[in-house]
Amino acid sequence: MEYLKKTFRWFGPSFGVTLEEIKQLGMEGVVTACHQIPTGEVWPVKSISEIKNKIESHGLEWSVVESVNIHNAIKYGHKDRDVYIRNYIETLKNLAENGIYTICYNFMPLIDWTRTNLNYELPNGAISLLYDPIAIAAFDLFILQRNRAERVYSGEMLKAATAYFERLDNDGRVTLEKSILAGLPGSKVPISMGYFKKSLVEVSQYTKLDLQKNLTYFLGIIIPEAEKLGIKMALHPDDPPFSVFGLPRVASTYEDLGFILDSYPSESNGLTFCSGSLGATPSNDLPKIVRDFGDRIHFIHLRNVQRDTNGSFYEATHLKGSVPMGKVMTEIVKEQKRRQEKGKSSVAIPLRPDHGHVLLDDKQRKDEFYPGYSLIGRAMGMAELSGLEEGVREVLGTE
């Protein structure tokens, strides 16, 4: 049986990791995007081919696009959404023309992901990412000063957030704001507070049902085109998988993912399985998600999180944390076996180590990396995951 395809996310030469280094790590493929093109615009064939040629010149393949971002007009159902859907289809056609057929995307409102500390030091000195709901509440109440935000939080949380904010000096408050507004992947420019506030007011008027309707509208047009092109769309779950700032989420739970897949039954309408995103809440049974939705999983992100009872979590090493990574890997390998028995061509599912600690020599260039995308930390994660996969295959007898 084919092993999982080892891939590494790459944002380009200005983000601290080179293609030469990725090749030396033994990776087979690269996960990237045309980050320089604004969301909603068509990716020209020339721009795609230039990146692809650069990747292939290092003996690698462009395995997955992450991400062709969804324009807000589509997410929020604006009158001009069909213009941006047509642009999206043109981008898919141009990617297919270049032989790229797996597309990761998300439908998260406002921002792609949320953390409160991008330099959380662990006891061993490694640097991780942290989500703290008390810090979120402090930002919401006293920095963002969202209208009627206090209604979202319990009396105990209000008290804790107030105490947290009062302990912060001015630098601490600025750092918290920058951490939450860190920007979109592939950009070092934080989202401005003005844009964030304005967008939050708009997004707050939508319900979960509104966003689900807009997503199914998008899928209803995109998936038939993807089928013609042989493209597999792989929706990434929400990060974190619960409401932040009172905003609805549409890809956070087992039920959410089932709804998305059922909204347009097609192999082209699939998922990115992200153990770190889904694992940030104890209510998600990750092995069950792989077992039940495995035939529609087209891309895999594996990372671990260590949850606390207060709702906070930090990103742990790939094999140690609250995510039962051994059980997850077992279900992934079993899914590969099912695909092999059915004679499917997509047995070698692309997998990448998702995020990684900043440690050792990477500390000297940590400001170059996009948060979570160090070199050595992710390399260590892939080594751990590869060893785990090898052991699982031996136990299951699938080699």
285 is catalytic: no
Nearest to 222 by CA among 373, 95, 376, 315: 95
**Which long-range contacts link 38-43 to residues 24+ away (Cβ below 8 Å)?**
39/69, 39/70, 39/71, 39/72, 40/71, 40/73, 40/84, 40/87, 41/87, 42/87, 42/90, 42/91, 42/94, 43/68, 43/91, 43/94, 43/95
* DSSP secondary structure, 135-170, as one string: HHHHIIIIIS--TTGGGGS-HHHHHHHHHHHHH--H
Nearest to 118 by CA among 32, 178, 69: 178
Which residues are CB-contacts of 153 (< 8 A; sequence separation ≥ 6)? Answer: 137, 141, 161
Choose, from 104, 355, 357, 370, the residue flagged as catalytic. 355
d(CA 127, CA 197): 30
373 is catalytic: yes
Choose, from 238, 239, 354, 362, the residue flagged as catalytic. 354
Choose, from 153, 264, 370, 373, the residue flagged as catalytic. 373
104 is catalytic: no
According to DSSP, residue 295 is labeled G
307 strand-pairing partners:
313
Decide if 234 contacts 298 (C-beta within 8 A).
yes
CA dist list (Å): 388 to 45, 238, 334, 356, 385: 39, 26, 14, 17, 5
According to DSSP, residue 308 is labeled -
| Residue 354: Cβ-neighbour burial (10 angstroms; 0-12, 13-18, 19+) | buried
Residue found by looking up tokens 């402090």 in the block: 138
And the tokens for 247? 């905003």
Choose, from 140, 164, 236, 264, the residue flagged as catalytic. 236
| Residue 295: Cβ-neighbour burial (10 angstroms; 0-12, 13-18, 19+) | middle
355 is catalytic: yes
Choose, from 34, 71, 164, 301, the residue flagged as catalytic. 301
And the tokens for 374? 């160090």
* DSSP secondary structure, 3-14, as one string: PPEEEEE---GG
Residues for the chain: how many in total?
A: 399
35 is catalytic: no
Choose, from 34, 164, 264, 274, the residue flagged as catalytic. 274
d(CA 5, CA 187): 27
Please give the positions annotated as active site.
Answer: 236, 274, 301, 354-355, 373
